[in-house]
């Protein structure tokens, strides 16, 4: 079934050590390894060796896919941001005309996201060194933008009552963001259901949404 004719007599065993992989896959694996290490050890403590080892490749291979250690960080951030935005957009869309459900959807995605990806959010968007480039700026604009659009639409539809849409969008995002910050977790772990309920209330009341 596998290279019967044009292969080489390299078939002693069945299990073949695949050394080269499609570039996309390799890159993704490195990204995964980097993300895992950032979470486990923190950004500062993550070395290129950790990432390479995590992806099961030699150190040099890392540099075939990323220009530098800082480069992967940006890439992981970008990937995370894009996924998050996509989830938010989907949640808002699928709520149809129910403006309360849209808010709940944002809360759900925000919190769910944290549960699933743990502290990744904070690790990535916060402990980042000062030199974030346009790459990251763009990702953040996208993110906040989702909330701004939601509020604007809700107000236009007469469902929400918000004075300062842009600023409130940032505040609401802020409220979710960092909820699972390891900082709080240690001191007083939060119950997920209570958190969701409280956040829903906060969101609805803030935009003055009447059931």
What is the contact surface with DNA in residues (CB under 7 A)? 1-5, 7-10, 16, 18-21, 23, 26, 45-49, 57-64, 68-70
Q: State how far the Cα of 136 lies from the Cα of 143, in Å rounded to an integer.
A: 11
Q: Is residue 58 part of the contact set for a copy of itself (CB under 8 A)?
A: no
Q: State how far the Cα of 209 lies from the Cα of 155, in Å rounded to an integer.
A: 10
Output the smallest distance, CB 96 to a copy of itself, in A: 25
Contact segment (CB under 8 A) with a copy of itself among 1-9, 53-61, 62-70, 89-97 equals: 1-9
Interface residue with a copy of itself, options 47, 68, 115, 208 (CB under 8 A)? 208
Output the smallest distance, CB 127 to DNA, in A: 14
- Between 15 and 205, CB nearer to a copy of itself: 205
Distance, first Cα to last Cα, the chain: 62
Q: Is residue 195 part of the contact set for a copy of itself (CB under 8 A)?
A: yes
Question: Which residue is listed with tokens 């989907």?
Answer: 90
Interface residue with a copy of itself, options 140, 149, 153, 155 (CB under 8 A)? 140
Q: Is residue 181 part of the contact set for a copy of itself (CB under 8 A)?
A: yes
Contact flags string 92-131 toward a copy of itself, x per CB under 8 A = ------------------------------x--xxxxxx-
Q: State how far the Cα of 48 lies from the Cα of 109, in Å rounded to an integer.
A: 31
Output the smallest distance, CB 42 to DNA, in A: 11
- Between 115 and 184, CB nearer to a copy of itself: 184
What residue ranges bind a copy of itself (CB under 8 A)?
5-6, 8-9, 12, 41-45, 122, 125-130, 132, 136-137, 140-141, 144, 163-164, 166-168, 170-172, 174-179, 181-184, 186-188, 190-191, 194-195, 197-199, 201-202, 205-206, 208
């Amino acid at each position: 079934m596998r290279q019967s004719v044009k292969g080489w007599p390299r078939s002693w065993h069945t299990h073949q050590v695949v050394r080269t992989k499609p570039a996309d896959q390799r890159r993704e694996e490195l990204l995964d390894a980097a993300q895992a290490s950032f979470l486990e050890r923190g950004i500062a403590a993550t070395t290129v060796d950790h990432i390479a080892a995590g992806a099961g490749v030699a150190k040099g291979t890392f540099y075939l896919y990323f220009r530098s250690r800082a480069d992967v960080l940006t890439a992981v951030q970008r990937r995370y941001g894009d996924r998050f935005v996509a989830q938010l957009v989907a949640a808002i869309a699928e709520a149809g005309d129910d403006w309360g459900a849209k808010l709940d959807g944002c809360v759900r995605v925000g919190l769910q996201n944290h549960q699933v990806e743990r502290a990744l959010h904070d690790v990535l968007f916060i402990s980042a060194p000062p030199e974030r480039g346009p790459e990251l700026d763009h990702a953040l604009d996208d993110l906040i933008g989702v909330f701004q659009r939601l509020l604007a639409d809700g107000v236009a539809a007469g469902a929400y009552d918000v004075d300062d849409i842009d600023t409130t969008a940032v505040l609401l995002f802020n409220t979710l963001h960092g909820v699972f910050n390891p900082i709080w977790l240690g001191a007083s772990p939060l119950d997920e259901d209570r958190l969701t309920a409280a956040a829903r209330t906060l969101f609805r009341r803030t935009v003055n949404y009447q059931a």
